[in-house]
Structure 1
């Protein structure tokens, strides 16, 4: 150490930054705007309360009066019945509009076109005068004169029934388009994933499609319900004493028009406010899985401010033993898949051709994939690899040829020289033996990881829930994700989502497992964890067919490699033969570019 160093001045002590006070920036424009808004609000309130012509004493006299409350009750009843029957009808119409039946779709479109065109007030008057057009309403056998029962139309069509029916038809037409828009907003991959798991059509709509569509449906649907609540005032033309008509009767007698109109206005504001709170919580319910953090429960926030509950979750007990890591649990559980999966099936592809219009994407494909083998399909983009894979489990219907698993046709039954497509129910049953893992995961975002895996075993295989959940936990342990059972897909990384997708497919215990570019949607750092799971599956005895661009992975895992080009199988063979000594010039050119 030099003399200069000995006499150098000591460095000044660093200030304690932790004690500094943080002063947020001041937004002058925001402050001015707030002040202006406060002045305007004060002026409005002063005008309402200080002007005696508003007649607030008369308002107070009639606000909770018996006639007004009876009219309010009828308004609420009409709103509830109209909303229930209207949205039920709208759901049926929406499903008919997206149906593959041209007749159903056309009839639904015609109904919607007609009742969206007719003004509500006109529709109510037509229904109320239906007896003029039809003296009786009867049910019987058409064109025979045989009648089960018959009623006088005028006696049957009371003003209340006419009001309910008119509101239902009107709302049904508008809500059908709202619901159809929600259904169309659900990603096509969700439909394909549900179909690939063998879930019945009705189950797909109820558990997979509609819950996701609700995020798009709910805001517009509540607009329609609020419009319905206000639209009930139209039934005054039927002399039905709902809220607005009751108020009209009162102010025609006492001539206090403004105070009575304010009675109706305030009640409509209350109805709107209640519906808005209900809408908020329904939206919050269907946001599960779509948002990483749900918005707060409004009621819980209010109760917390009153000191009745706490917003913070209770701390975990210090005595609770920490869970072992996912990898450790997977090792403890064991990674031998052979005991939990069925023996693989033989896949026979004969003369398969598939076209989209004038574009032929598969041209006379002939392949036999042995049971328990691992086949990697490689080739340039657009060569038909994914289409072939999707044809194996009948997500794509081929134009010619057939595909069979262990001699059983997928999607068809043979009758002589013809193949007849099976009903959807039978296709779904057979499809459950051909699992598929998609490149974009296609997990159901509104279901937890556990529910994603148990959905198909319960619905398709008929497993009891407890047994299905135990199977799901077992599979999650095998892929190293035991601690993610209660998470939603959005809360997982891409690699974790793909491992859950593999576990979901394996829960059905398929004979054949299809992988469509299982790592193409993943960051490079996440590819390894998915490939490790597939490597373990390769020794399980299940038949694996993998479309991949991971040539090194295909070399390591596959028993056979299939190279495709322009919809044709150009070359097949062992990894050593195809990758090291290709017999076809096009194969050699492709391998030279990717290795």
Structure 2
């Protein structure tokens, strides 16, 4: 980052007090402030509120502890009773099993709901609609009486008579199994909507960035979408689990002795209703307190990267206070990239030379709006092509089409003669499946206008994710190449930082390094400096200028005319989805042939 020198004032002799201060006997000198006593500000209403809260707490405690009808001796007698503990264990087991199965099934239902298959999405919606509509008590009774409808549960091939498993329903569905199934079906319906809401909360740019790196759909969901969605899922998800822990009491209808049913049995025998209810209440408080602490810990894990600095827990603050007086250990140096490495090649050694991009008659419409209209363009291997034009002229859509983030309505795009999105066999073109598109997309890197770094991953993790998943590099080799790229973009010391802890210019340089980590033949830049402060533009443009000299084929959408004049081999001007003019920078900027190009340049130069 460029820095400017700041002129500091030269220290000189302290000026003598003015005549007025020196001759006024009642004036206080500045040095006299040190001996004055500070009186803290008073907040009477705050004090009154504190006293009121203490009075309420003391009153409630006195009433509960001194009233003999609460029966605290009976409470103490039954709190650790074996029957109560067995009921508590069964409650915890039901909560754990039904919660795990419910959220596992709910995750699959949520992914099915947002899938592109209308039949799969409709099936998921129908499941959620059905099991959210049935009260848990009714559902448990239906499952417990399933033997009336189906005498045996059979698994086999329909209409063939082939049977792999068959067992009497009444023997297979014990009360505990019926309770687990009923609670799981009910919980999964609510969990599916909680998880779907979390998935929808993830910015669409994250999906585009993952797709642009060639990550497969399952890996996008597992590594990018769900970890970020967890921030929105966890509060509602833990509320659902806490509700499940309390809701297990409905299994009393199956005569299953969980905690509450056990308490009912006991107080019906000894008639000590209040003390026994307090036993159940305190145990529920203990269980839910543990769940709340677990929720807090998990939320801290999944909030990585959201804040510049994570708030410390109580134990972390205590540990930090104890470590203040201790001498700080010597900081381990950041491992340097070894120039003599023989087992793994360097980035420069593995670098793939640029590929030729050919755009032939490409058109794209959104409804009645025609965004690209018969666009033809050729970018030779190793060239730098800058695309100019007013907003809405189709520049970004053209880049996204080259990367196949947008499917064109007509026309073809190829890199080194290999079609994007199709496979040719003779005179036939077969549209590629998404898995094959992702593999080819790895050769066409993209740097987005808004960076689209993965906020829950560190800088190093952002860079190694795609090389390991798409190129199949071992982690050690991927990390070595990533650190070398960070050196190239001037961010070697930021490998362990999260994107939120970086400036805009640093984030954009990380985005460039992430795209380069896949060794693409072509690199696309969609207005790489438009989201930056003017002071940060230079550091990003310097990195792009270095890339322009490296032989990578670059296509850049930008409004930086001076930059375009310096690095471009060809400048293209677009409007209304068409290329109106293209040519060498000097020719286009000094003597444009099209009147619309001249009018545009008059406004921006």
Q: How does 1:240-255 map to 2 (within 5 A)?
A: 240-255=256-271
**Pairing 1:192-591 to 2, within 5 Å after superposition:** 192-300=208-316, 304=319, 310=322, 315-317=327-329, 341-414=351-424, 419-591=429-601
Aligned to 1:100: 116
Q: Which residues of 2 match residues 117-132 of structure 1 at below 5 A?
A: 117-132=133-148
Match of 2:43 among 27, 52, 62: 27
For the residues of structure 1 that align with 2:604 and 2:464, how far apart are their CA atoms? 39
Give the 3-state SS of the residue equivalent to 2:288 in structure 1.
helix
CA distance in 2, matches of 1:86, 1:321: 45
- Among 80, 83, 92, which residue is 2:99 paired with? 83
Summarize deviations over 1:508-564 as a string: whole Å, max 9, x none: 110000000000000000000000000010010010000001111101110000000
* Distance change (3 Å), C-alpha of 1:21 and 1:445: farther
Q: Secondary structure at the match of 2:378?
A: strand
Q: How many residues align?
A: 580
Deviations 1:58-89 (A, max 9, x none): 00000000000000000000000011000000
Give the distance between the partners of 2:281 and 2:53, measured in 1 at CA: 23
For residue 333 of structure 1, what is the aligned residue in structure 2?
Answer: none
> For the residues of structure 2 that align with 1:271 and 1:234, how far apart are their CA atoms?
17
> The residue matched to 2:229 in structure 1 has which SS?
helix
- Which of 107, 112, 115 pairs up with 2:131? 115
User: Shift of the alpha carbon at 1:25?
Assistant: 3.2
Quote the offset at 1:15 in angstroms: 1.9
| Aligned mate of 1:178, from 194, 201, 206 | 194
SS at match of 1:460: helix
Q: Partners of 1:19 and 1:457 in 2: how far apart? A: 65
Q: Tell me which residue corresponds to 2:343.
A: none
Q: Is the 8 A contact 1:85 1:168 kept in 2?
A: yes
CA spacing shift, 1:433–1:36, aligned 2, 3 Å: same
Aligned to 2:90: 74
Query: Aligned partners of 2:289 and 2:601: how far apart in 1?
Result: 66
Output one character per residue of 1:118-137: Cα deviation in whole Å (capped at 9) or x when no partner: 00011011111110111110
* Structure 2 CA distance for aligned equivalents of residues 508 and 447 of structure 1: 17
Deviation at 1:298, TM superposition (A): 4.1
| TM-score of the aligned structures, taking structure 1 as reference length | 0.93
Q: Following TM superposition, by how much is the alpha carbon of 1:28 offset from its aligned partner in structure 2, in angstroms?
A: 2.0
Per-residue deviation, 1:416: 6.1
Mean Cα deviation higher: 6-15 or 92-101 = 6-15
CA contact (8 A) 1:338 1:541 kept: no
Q: Give the alignment partner of residue 154 of structure 1, picking from 170, 180, 200.
A: 170
**Structure 2: how far apart are the matches of 1:249 and 1:58?**
15
Tell whether the 8 Å contact from 2:206 to 2:453 is kept in structure 1 after alignment: yes
Offset, 1:29: 1.8
- Shift in Å at residue 367 of structure 1? 0.8
Residues 251-279 of structure 1 show CA distances to partners (whole Å, capped at 9, x for unaligned) of 01101111101100000000110000000
- 1:341 offset after TM fit, Å? 2.5
Shift of 1:292: 1.6
Match 1:134 to one of 150, 155, 164? 150
Secondary structure at the counterpart of residue 545 of structure 1: strand
Q: 1: distance between equivalents of 2:385 and 2:326?
A: 51
Alignment partners' CA distance in 1, 2:362 and 2:234: 44
Q: How far off its partner does 1:425 sit?
A: 1.1
**In 2, Cα distance between the equivalents of 1:340 and 1:19?**
70
**Superposition deviation, residue 372 in structure 1:** 0.1
Alignment partners' CA distance in 2, 1:299 and 1:461? 42
Q: CA deviation at 1:295?
A: 2.3
- Tell whether 2:36 aligns with 1:36: no
- Tell me, in whole angstroms, the C-alpha distance in 1 between the residues paired with 2:35 and 2:430: 80
1:291 Cα deviation from its structure 2 partner: 1.2
Structure-1 separation of matches of 2:404 and 2:324 = 50
Out of 72, 76, 79, the residue aligned to residue 60 of structure 1 is 76
Is the deviation greater in 506-515 or in 17-26?
17-26
Verify: 1:191 aligned to 2:184, yes or no. no
Task: Give the drift of 1:26.
Answer: 2.8
Q: Does the CA contact (< 8 Å) of 1:281 and 1:297 recur in 2?
A: no
In 2 relative to 1, CA 203–148 (structure 1 residues): closer, same or farther, beyond 3 Å? same
Measured after TM superposition, the shift of residue 313 of structure 1 is: 9.8
Q: Is the 8 A contact 1:338 1:540 kept in 2?
A: no
How many angstroms apart in 2 are the aligned matches of 1:171 and 1:6? 78
Counterparts in 2 of 1:585 and 1:45: CA distance versus 1, 3 Å: same
Q: Compared with structure 1, are the counterparts of its residues 310 and 422 closer, same or farther at alpha carbon in structure 2 (3 Å cutoff)?
A: farther
Q: Distance in 2 between matches of 1:425 and 1:316?
A: 50
User: Could you give the per-residue CA deviations for residues 388-420 of structure 1, whole angstroms, max 9, x where no partner exists?
Assistant: 000001000001011000011111123566643
Q: What stretches of structure 2 of length at least 5 have no aligned partner?
A: 1-15, 23-27, 338-345
Give distance in 2, aligned partners of 1:151 and 1:564.
70
Calculate the aligned-residue CA RMSD, in Å: 2.5
Structure 1 CA distance, aligned partners of 2:40 and 2:420? 66
TM-score, normalised with respect to structure 2: 0.92
2:54 alignment partner, SS class: helix
Partner of 1:310, secondary structure, is helix
Matched-pair contact (CA < 8 Å) for 1:300–1:311: no
